[in-house]
Structure 1
Amino acid sequence: MNEPWYPARAVVDLDAVRGNVRVLRDAAPGAAVMAVVKADAYGHGLLPVARAALAAGATWLGVAQPAEALALRAAGITARTFTWLYAPGAPLAELVSADVDVSVHAPWGVEEVAAAARAAGRPARVHLKVDTGLGRSGVMPDQLPEVVARLVALQGDGLLELVGVWSHLAFADEPDHPTVRGQADVFDRAVEVAERAGAHLEVRHLANSAATLTTQHVHHELVRPGLAVYGLSPVPQLGGPDAFGLRPAMTLEARLATVKAVPAGQGVSYGHAFRTPRDTVLGDVPLGYGDGIPRHASGSQDVPGAPILVGNGPSARMLHVTGRVCMDQFMVDLGPDATERAGDTVVLFGDGATGAPTAQDWADACGTISYEITTRLGARVPRVHLHAEENPA
């Protein structure tokens, strides 16, 4: 186990990350790839994943929060980096000084970026976020002429460079949904507004993982894959990772803390949502919702919980979370003939090609998406990174 010692770990295969980035490059051959490493690289580890993605040919890194961009720079990573989510008063001057591209996603952001450029003594590189239909952040189309005019004027003053226009699709995971074409049309009109006003755009970017893999007409000069970098399918209804040549990078495993025989009728965990139907053996897995394991992964008498793999090789068994997930642990009914011992390893999720449950299996069991399963994994679970030798600064 990694230091500090903990009875569980997330093993992240950086070879898988590199392979996935190469797949994404091939899927969008006319575009540069921005590997999105926000939220601690979807729980996989910001710096190791960023370096692995760059080694495989990504030329941009994308993060939501300014602190994430500054952490990349503090680690000596100099690749083109874009950050997009901040409220008034954010440390934009630090970002500009650190050569980080920033988004303007609301009219108030224009003057804040200009003030940051003055404080930094250098022009800011700006990407204008347009709300093309997601209803989240972004300048509304009717606000565009005024906002663009101000950005171009500030560019003329040498305070900023309007280098990009970008947006986000609401239904990218349903490639045939009519909103995909509709948002693309709104986006194209926004680009025309910017160019007619005098912007000389370096990049347009609209495609996330799903659109990178399935919707070529929105690739433009830059694609922004996130989930697929980590080997998970952004369109599970169309196919799992193997359907797109992806390989899951994270395996979450733990060591059994206790293994003990109990009688029939034994209540298991809080509320006794499960009672043993026969004499059996229970195992205690030392991961819980304090580690980011969803409480919705719990099992009851009638509904099995999320799947886990117990054992190795031909003798490995797919079992399920038994009873309610606790803050630090959950139980598994190992069956009356169990041979496991305390200290044996169980796999919660990993690469389905190895026989392990997947993050998608856990998402299905919990009524959520695979993004949440990996991203919510707590900081106290050690990350062990394999095959880091190719990583550049």
Structure 2
Amino acid sequence: MSSYPARAVVDLAALASNVRALAAHAPTAQVMAVVKADGYGHGLLPAARAALAGGATWLGAAQADEALALRAAGIGGRVLTWLYAPGAPLRQLVEADVDVSVAAPWALDAVVAAARESGRTARVHLKVDTGLGRNGMLPSVYRDVLDAALRAQAEGAIAVVGVWSHLAFADEPQHPTVVEQAQVFADAVAHAEQRGAALEVRHLANSAATLTNPTVHYDLVRLGIAVYGLSPVPRLGGPEAFGLVPVMTLEAELATVKEVPAGFCVSYAHAYTTTEPTMLGVVPLGYADGIPRHASGALPEHPGGPIQVGGRRLAVAGRVCMDQVVVDLGPGAREVAGDRVELFGTGAEGGPTAEDWARAAGTISYEIVTRVGARVPRVYIPTTPPAASALRGAGEPRSADVTGGEGRG
């Protein structure tokens, strides 16, 4: 067991349940669970296995190394990878039966070459830039690449199994670009089918579109942040509105508790000053662990990121440091070193959430969970209860009661 005085508790049963809940929102489509960025900070391999246990039939991995790590761990099913530059290990991907996105003419040439070298047929998804202005081919380029891809398919080098794109304003379902992009995508799909492509999957919907726009579900929905129990459309509703439960709880033990007088200055640049005699607690997590420095606090105008202590909602007092933050526990506080604090979790009993931290830092919940540092141990609550003999003593913290027994992927 790690001696690190903090941990990210990852509830894999909640993750699997979220996948089931999300699948119900898109009953006519297959489900891809996106596990890029180390499973959004939750752990690549544990997240992937829990998502498959919840009913996902596809996994999405942005980087080639992520996709290969899934295969090296013995994880089957369909896997799609899409973000790579010249020199990527395309032959390894083809040999590992990983679906590969093609987002530029050079990428098609490289995938075809890799397939010929491997002697296997590469499964290809053509990525169309329908208006996001990011990765993908503009429609005019897409048409030329499609023709070249179909020629390579006729030779047996590749199989064009999918066409896909990504929405710019999926979290604002009434935004006019959503309709515009959907039409560009529909035209791209129709063109592929007219040219004779027998597509297995057409996919446009991310988490937000899955929950708000059934017209773009097509054959496959790509679920990212919602798999991890966070709302992709917080303005429209929190996780509970969609049957989701946040998967990660970030917790720590107080390292120091001390009494200080009124007018006591706290942390770098003395951004926070106590207004009365009070107790200060040091939480051993800082920006090196992913705590956003933008969530520093200076009362009363700018309270910092929320921290729950002893059932009380408090906040970061002063600047977030590399390895620690300070919390003003209040006059007469009874907490002592070693007591548990929660930075974010499910929000039960008024506890803080990743969305609360996002608002405090002026960002999105995606960034809060994905930036939790590698040195913070992940403790896994498995998808199925462990044997009774695996449970630890009743007096130990909840996070130590059950673990998944896996390291981060």
What are structure 2's unaligned runs of at least 5 residues? 386-403, 405-409
**CA displacement, residues 182-232 of structure 1 (integer Å, 9 cap, x when unaligned):** 100000111122122221100000000001111000000000010110111
Q: Distance in 2 between matches of 1:48 and 1:303?
A: 37
2:375 to 362, 373, 380: 380
Q: What's the secondary structure of 2:223's corresponding residue? A: coil
The answer for the alignment partner of 1:276 in structure 2 is 274
Task: State the AA in 1 paired with 2:306.
Answer: P
The answer for the alignment partner of 1:157 in structure 2 is 155
1:171 to 169, 172, 176: 169
Q: Distance in 1 between matches of 2:37 and 2:12?
A: 17
Q: Distance in 1 between matches of 2:219 and 2:113?
A: 29
Task: State the AA in 2 paired with 1:352.
Answer: G
**Contact 1:256–1:343 (CA<8 Å) still a contact in 2?**
yes
The answer for the alignment partner of 1:235 in structure 2 is 233
The answer for the alignment partner of 1:140 in structure 2 is 138
Q: Distance in 2 between matches of 1:73 and 1:144?
A: 30
**Contact 1:256–1:344 (CA<8 Å) still a contact in 2?**
yes
**Contact 1:207–1:224 (CA<8 Å) still a contact in 2?**
yes
The answer for the alignment partner of 2:36 in structure 1 is 38
CA-CA distance at 1:106 after TM superposition = 1.1
Q: Distance in 2 between matches of 1:246 and 1:155?
A: 41
Question: Residues 188-267 of structure 1 correspond to what in structure 2 (within 5 A)?
Answer: 188-267=186-265
The answer for the alignment partner of 1:304 in structure 2 is 303
Q: What's the secondary structure of 1:150's corresponding residue? A: helix
Q: Distance in 1 between matches of 2:267 and 2:383?
A: 40
**CA displacement, residues 24-43 of structure 1 (integer Å, 9 cap, x when unaligned):** 11000000000001101111
Task: State the AA in 2 paired with 1:194.
Answer: A
Question: Residues 351-366 of structure 1 correspond to what in structure 2 (within 5 A)?
Answer: 351-366=346-361
**Contact 2:16–2:383 (CA<8 Å) still a contact in 1?**
no
Calculate the TM-score normalised by the size of structure 1: 0.96
1:26 to 24, 27, 33: 24
The answer for the alignment partner of 1:336 in structure 2 is 331
**C-alpha root-mean-square deviation of aligned residues, in Å?**
1.0
Q: Distance in 2 between matches of 1:338 and 1:260?
A: 10
The answer for the alignment partner of 1:186 in structure 2 is 184
**Contact 1:70–1:98 (CA<8 Å) still a contact in 2?**
yes
The answer for the alignment partner of 1:347 in structure 2 is 342
1:64 to 55, 62, 65: 62
CA-CA distance at 1:119 after TM superposition = 1.8
CA-CA distance at 1:353 after TM superposition = 2.8
Task: State the AA in 2 paired with 1:177.
Answer: H
1:16 aligns with 2:11: no
Task: State the AA in 1 paired with 2:290.
Answer: G
CA-CA distance at 1:261 after TM superposition = 0.8
CA-CA distance at 1:120 after TM superposition = 1.5
The answer for the alignment partner of 1:369 in structure 2 is 364
Q: Distance in 2 between matches of 1:250 and 1:342?
A: 24
Calculate the TM-score normalised by the size of structure 2: 0.93
Q: What's the secondary structure of 1:347's corresponding residue? A: strand
Q: Distance in 1 between matches of 2:284 and 2:214?
A: 44
Q: Distance in 2 between matches of 1:267 and 1:356?
A: 27
The answer for the alignment partner of 2:97 in structure 1 is 99
Task: State the AA in 2 paired with 1:245.
Answer: G
Task: State the AA in 2 paired with 1:365.
Answer: A
CA-CA distance at 1:354 after TM superposition = 3.5
Q: Distance in 1 between matches of 2:44 and 2:349?
A: 26
- Paired residue total: 385
The answer for the alignment partner of 1:318 in structure 2 is 313
Q: What's the secondary structure of 1:322's corresponding residue? A: coil
Q: What's the secondary structure of 1:115's corresponding residue? A: helix
**CA displacement, residues 101-129 of structure 1 (integer Å, 9 cap, x when unaligned):** 00001111010001110121101000000
**Contact 1:144–1:193 (CA<8 Å) still a contact in 2?**
no
Q: Distance in 1 between matches of 2:317 and 2:197?
A: 59
Task: State the AA in 2 paired with 1:379.
Answer: A
Q: What's the secondary structure of 2:132's corresponding residue? A: coil
Q: Distance in 2 between matches of 1:241 and 1:150?
A: 44
Q: Distance in 1 between matches of 2:291 and 2:154?
A: 51
Q: What's the secondary structure of 1:175's corresponding residue? A: coil
**Contact 1:262–1:280 (CA<8 Å) still a contact in 2?**
yes
Q: Distance in 2 between matches of 1:55 and 1:70?
A: 20
**Contact 2:13–2:384 (CA<8 Å) still a contact in 1?**
no
Q: Distance in 2 between matches of 1:350 and 1:300?
A: 24
The answer for the alignment partner of 1:55 in structure 2 is 53
Task: State the AA in 2 paired with 1:251.
Answer: T
Q: Distance in 2 between matches of 1:16 and 1:354?
A: 18
Q: What's the secondary structure of 2:16's corresponding residue? A: helix
Task: State the AA in 1 paired with 2:336.
Answer: R
Q: Distance in 1 between matches of 2:151 and 2:23?
A: 36
Task: State the AA in 2 paired with 1:165.
Answer: V
CA-CA distance at 1:267 after TM superposition = 1.1
Task: State the AA in 2 paired with 1:309.
Answer: Q
